[in-house]
Amino acid sequence: MTAGLAIAAGSAAACNPDAPVHPVLQDQSYDSIARKVLTLQADSIVIARVLTQVDLTFEGAGDDDRSSLPTYLFDVREGWKQIRSRRLTVDGYWVPCDLALTPGSWFLMFLDGDRPLYLRSADDAQADLDALGDIEWFYTHGGELVRPELVDDVPQSRQDPNRGEE
């Protein structure tokens, strides 16, 4: 068995028309009740940007539809609940076809480990962000993890470089 690797901006089979749907969304559309259930069940909730789509093909893999789906690489920027690593990969198996995961697009992601419970375009997530409240952690552009509740505990002399140590 040999493998081929391609990094692509798009692919003909970039989604799963039969992607798993969370039980709370099987009989109703996404609303405030679904948000509450997903928030309770998610280990982490993050805002992340799509970096790229990676297409892997395996010769001799057979007709397994899942093996032909891409993997998406996300840049996690901020979140709630458990802290996630800055880079997150999501198998195309979890991506429904009604989402356009193009490089540079932003998503609110309810996660159970690395598995998405629900992905929502950040463009449509203002009510979600309002309900979630202040972020609990974020990454700087340099990749440093910051937890705001710890910043408040830093002595004033460390926050102001113009003042000397007291």
Half-sphere exposure of 145 (CA within 13 A, CB side): 13
Query: pLDDT tens digits, residue range 105-164?
Result: 999 999 999 899 999 999 999 999 999 999 999 999 999 999 977 765 544 433 444 444
Please report, for the chain, the start and end positions of each structural domain, with discontinuous segments joined by +. 29-51+73-159
Give me the mean pLDDT over the 53-78 stretch. 74
Distance, in Å, from the CA atom of 123 to the CA atom of 40, rounded to the nearest integer, reads 22
Query: pLDDT tens digits, residue range 18-64?
Result: 889 999 999 889 999 999 999 999 999 999 999 998 886 655 555 55
Using CA atoms, how far residue 133 sits from 20, 83, 90, 150, in Å, is 28, 16, 25, 17
Distance, in Å, from the CA atom of 54 to the CA atom of 154, rounded to the nearest integer, reads 41
The amino acid sitting at 124 is D
pLDDT at 12: 42
- pLDDT band, very low/low/confident/very high, at 15 (cuts 50, 70, 90): confident
